[in-house]
């Protein structure tokens, strides 16, 4: 299945909101990939067996619109027919965002499956819609920070493990956390390993070990954007749709209403790859917890890692699940 190719094969239909040019999605007979008169991609779905009182309400978000029981005129294979369908429309003509929508729609189609019940459709759609609701919120992190985290995941020997322990909320103290093992990712655009830490990040619980991933980022027009990193990670996850859904949700939740701008920003992949180093927090200079007054909180400071020896992951002793997957 390649929804991008299917969508690009479609011509824009006549000026009518209920007319679509569409093609069947191979192996998924209840789905069609369509295009409306504004050039927006539309995922069309028919459900044979409906259950009374079980359905989603029609709605319109910033980018996404859901219309159920819509009587549509479908042009397909040089003929037309009238059908009652559910139409999921991505209302944006930005090519980067359209491509991103089409890629995550592939996951939705595969999750719903070939012969879905109405219950399965409703539950899958609810999760899909929750992801898009986050695009009205303020960004929870910078594009640099998110790109660096995705880069570490994509370069891991087992990306799924890192995704399993990736924060659901960007405001958490550590980017990856199993309890006993934790990883915090820091990026630098000035090619200096001077990073800002919170006191909690460098003073973890005594029974846990923390590694700092330090990476240099440089914007470059021929580099990789967030969408490309997500695509590469998804390919490594094969058909693990639940993990792919988490990946999409965290990306959307992190970028919020800055997605349209952020998704086009590209960073030099080779510079990041050559610069990636890991450091043990026990080797980093810090303000010790004992020196922080009882009623003082949210202490942050900058530490220079330039003269600290990086960790050799291959020879790292007592590796558990998280560190073993880097």
Task: Tell me what pLDDT residue 1 has.
Answer: 66
- Say how far apart CA 197 and CA 186 lie, in whole Å: 9
Q: Does the predicted model carry a pTM greater than 0.85?
A: no
Contact 249, 134 (CB under 8 A): yes
Q: Mapping DSSP to helix (H, G, I), strand (E, B) and coil, where does residue 173 land? A: coil
**If pLDDT is split at 50, 70 and 90, which confidence band does 56 have?**
low
List of residues 6+ apart from 217 with CB closer than 8 A: 144, 147, 148, 187, 188, 189, 267, 268, 271, 272
List of residues 6+ apart from 256 with CB closer than 8 A: 134, 135, 136, 137, 138, 139, 140
Q: Mapping DSSP to helix (H, G, I), strand (E, B) and coil, where does residue 88 land? A: strand
What is the per-residue pLDDT across 154-194, written as a single tens digit (0 to 9) for each? 999 999 999 999 987 767 889 999 999 999 999 999 999 99
Task: Tell me what pLDDT residue 273 has.
Answer: 97
Give percent above pLDDT 70 in the chain. 96
Q: What is the DSSP letter of 147?
A: H
Query: Judging by DSSP bridges, how do beta strands 219-225 and 194-198 pair with one another?
Result: unpaired
What is the per-residue pLDDT across 80-139, written as a single tens digit (0 to 9) for each? 888 888 889 998 888 888 888 888 888 888 888 877 777 777 778 887 887 787 777 777
Q: Minimum mean pLDDT among 127-131, 252-256, 295-299: which range?
A: 127-131
* Mean pLDDT of the region 53-73: 77
Task: Tell me what pLDDT residue 324 has.
Answer: 94
Closest CA to 105 of 125, 86, 120: 125
Where residue 23 falls (left for φ over 0; alpha for ψ -120 to 50; beta otherwise) is beta
Closest CA to 168 of 231, 247, 230: 247
Token representation of residue 36: 């409306």
Q: Which has more pLDDT, 165 or 77?
A: 165
């Amino acid at each position: 299945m390649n929804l991008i190719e299917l969508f690009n094969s479609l011509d824009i239909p006549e000026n009518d909101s209920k007319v679509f040019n569409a093609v069947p999605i191979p192996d998924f007979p209840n789905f069609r990939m369509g295009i409306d008169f504004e050039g927006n991609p539309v995922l069309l779905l028919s459900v044979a067996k409906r259950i009374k009182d079980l359905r989603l309400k029609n709605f319109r978000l910033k980018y996404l619109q859901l219309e159920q029981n819509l009587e549509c005129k479908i042009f397909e294979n040089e003929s037309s027919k009238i059908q009652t369908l559910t139409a999921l429309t991505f209302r944006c003509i930005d090519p980067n965002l359209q491509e991103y929508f089409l890629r995550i729609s592939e996951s939705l189609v595969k999750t719903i499956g070939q012969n879905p019940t109405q219950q399965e459709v409703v539950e899958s759609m609810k999760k899909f819609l929750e992801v898009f609701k986050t695009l009205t919120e303020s960004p929870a992190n910078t594009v640099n920070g998110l790109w660096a985290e995705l880069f570490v995941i994509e370069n891991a020997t087992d990306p799924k493990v890192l995704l399993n322990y990736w924060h659901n909320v960007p405001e958490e103290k550590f980017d990856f956390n199993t309890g006993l093992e934790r990883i915090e990712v820091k990026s630098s655009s000035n090619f200096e390993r001077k990073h800002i830490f919170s006191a909690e990040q460098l003073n973890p619980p005594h029974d846990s070990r923390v590694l700092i991933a330090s990476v240099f980022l440089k914007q470059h027009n021929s580099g990789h954007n967030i969408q490309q990193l997500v695509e590469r990670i998804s390919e490594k996850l094969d058909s693990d749709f639940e993990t792919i859904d988490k990946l999409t949700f965290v990306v959307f939740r992190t970028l919020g209403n800055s997605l349209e701008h952020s998704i086009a920003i590209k960073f030099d992949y080779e510079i990041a790859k050559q610069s990636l180093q890991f450091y043990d927090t026990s080797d980093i200079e810090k303000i010790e917890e004992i020196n922080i007054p009882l009623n003082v909180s949210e202490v942050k400071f900058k530490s220079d890692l330039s003269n600290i020896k990086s960790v050799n992951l291959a020879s790292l002793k007592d590796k558990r699940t998280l560190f073993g997957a880097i």
